[in-house]
Amino acid sequence: MPDNLQPEWLKTLVKAPLTSRLRRKESLKRFNTWRIGGVAECLIDVVNIADLSFLLPFISKHRIPWFILGKGSNLLIPDTSWPGIILHLSGEFKSWKPLENTSLTHKINHISAGAALADVTFAQRCANQGWTGMEFLIGIPGTIGGAVAMNAGAHGRVTAESLLQVDWMDMEGNLHTSSRNELVFRYRFSELNGNFGKIITSAVFQLQQTDQESVEKKLLECQQFRMEKQPYNQPSCGSVFKNPPGDFAARLIEDSGLKAKKCGNAQISPIHANFIVNLGGASSADILTLIETIRETVFSKYSIYLEPEVQILQSSEYN
């Protein structure tokens, strides 16, 4: 769209006194772990609370299609152009801060982490202190905000187990703090989601103090599992489907004869059947075709309808 035909909301936004960087016509391929996607009309690297509290009401007022992302894992971005705003959290949202320990035994530690802090960074920093409970995050290529929002988990643990409280912002730009007990968490679900108008800004976790050597050993085990059992060196979104009750999506897909199946430049991984990898130049249509093939084939054979874990980029209610 030529500059003289740019949306009216964009003409207003470029004049706003933001600290955050605003980019026009930005490719989204490097903002997600599948390395797939079209061009966004506007992408903003949101670096602080003040800018976020301006942008969310602005989006609401002008009814702009929008989406918020961190590292873009667990996300499929269509190859078509995105007509609205992508909010990419950065800056102060990458914070990590141990909080004062008031426990007499000093065996419990509270850590505040920004929504944009990488899961891997969080896990490594906690391990360096000998704090256990969140080692599994080392194998999840997302951010703390995403981990809380989807209640990410691995190796028998989930994010909500160690969660103490969450700071989040509503679409009017107001900050809220909710304790773990005030929130609903289920398998790969929480009510704290941009689609519900609740944007996580930071979270506080409660971890147990132990010796650094044992935490680092767990961390290494989680890393080795990922390297041996998952296609860690190829672009993917992580697990594509949720595990159905009492079973594993990967087993159902593999036993349906779909492992290593290709569509264009996308492939159901020969290493782990619940991963779809980009072999280089894959399109979102390639990925979607494989997703639908898996769902239809598994349902036909087992009468089990696999539910996607991956989120497909869609705007909020503002269309």
Distance CA 289, CA 291 (A): 5
Which entry of 23, 63, 125, 188 is annotated as an active-site residue?
Answer: 188
Give the single-character DSSP code of 97.
E
Distance CA 202, CA 200 (A): 6
Distance CA 178, CA 217 (A): 33
CA angle at 295 for the pair 291 and 300, rounded to the nearest 5°: 150
Strand partners, 276: 268
Task: Tell me which residue of 138, 309, 143 sits closest to 232, measured CA to CA.
Answer: 138
Question: What one-character-per-residue DSSP string does 121-168 give?
Answer: HHHHHHHHTTEES-GGGGG--SBHHHHHHTT-EETTEEGGGGEEEEEE
Active site (annotated) includes residue 239: yes
Which entry of 41, 92, 135, 309 is annotated as an active-site residue?
Answer: 309
Specify whether the CB–CB gap between 79 and 97 falls below 8 A: no
Distance CA 294, CA 316 (A): 27
Active site (annotated) includes residue 188: yes
Task: Tell me which residue of 255, 258, 282, 281 sits closest to 269, measured CA to CA.
Answer: 258
Which entry of 239, 269, 284, 316 is annotated as an active-site residue?
Answer: 239
Strand partners, 308: 241
Positions annotated as catalytic residues are 188, 239, 309
